[in-house]
């Protein structure tokens, strides 16, 4: 049903392949638009956005370790490190 397509990255201008599997994934998840950037440029863009984000340090309410979060912690709300947060979300499923 799907066939590999060759697209051109809008950032670097290089060609990249939008595979049949990727197209199927996009369709299953309701993504209407094809990717505009190659994988390397998508990763670089994502990292650039993260670099500008201010991070705050807090103590994990579960394990007591250091938690780095992109919001200013409040004393009336628990903060969890990424490992404890992921475990809590895994336990809910």
- At residue 58, the pLDDT reads 94
Please tell me the predicted confidence (pLDDT) of residue 27. Answer: 95
C-alpha span between 33 and 61 (Å, rounded): 41
CB atoms inside a 10 Å sphere around CB 2? 14
Please give the Cα distance from 41 to 43 (Å, whole number).
Answer: 5
Tokens at 1, concatenated: 């049903």
Q: What is the mean pLDDT of residues 68-88?
A: 91
Please tell me the pTM assigned to this model: 0.55
**Residue indicated by tokens 């490190």:** 81
Q: Taking the CA atoms of 38, 40, 45 and 50 in sequence, report the sign of the dihedral they define.
A: positive
Q: pLDDT tens, 20-46?
A: 999 999 999 999 999 999 999 999 998
**What integer pLDDT is reported at residue 4 of this predicted model?**
97
């Amino acid at each position: 049903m799907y066939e590999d397509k060759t697209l051109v990255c809008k950032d670097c201008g290089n060609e990249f392949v939008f595979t049949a599997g990727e197209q199927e994934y996009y369709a299953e998840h309701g993504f209407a638009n094809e990717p505009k950037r190659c994988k390397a440029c998508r990763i670089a863009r994502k990292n650039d956005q993260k670099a500008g984000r201010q991070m705050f340090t807090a103590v994990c309410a579960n394990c007591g370790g250091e938690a780095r979060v992109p919001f200013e912690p409040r004393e009336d709300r628990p903060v969890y490190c990424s490992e404890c947060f992921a475990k809590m979300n895994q336990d809910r499923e």
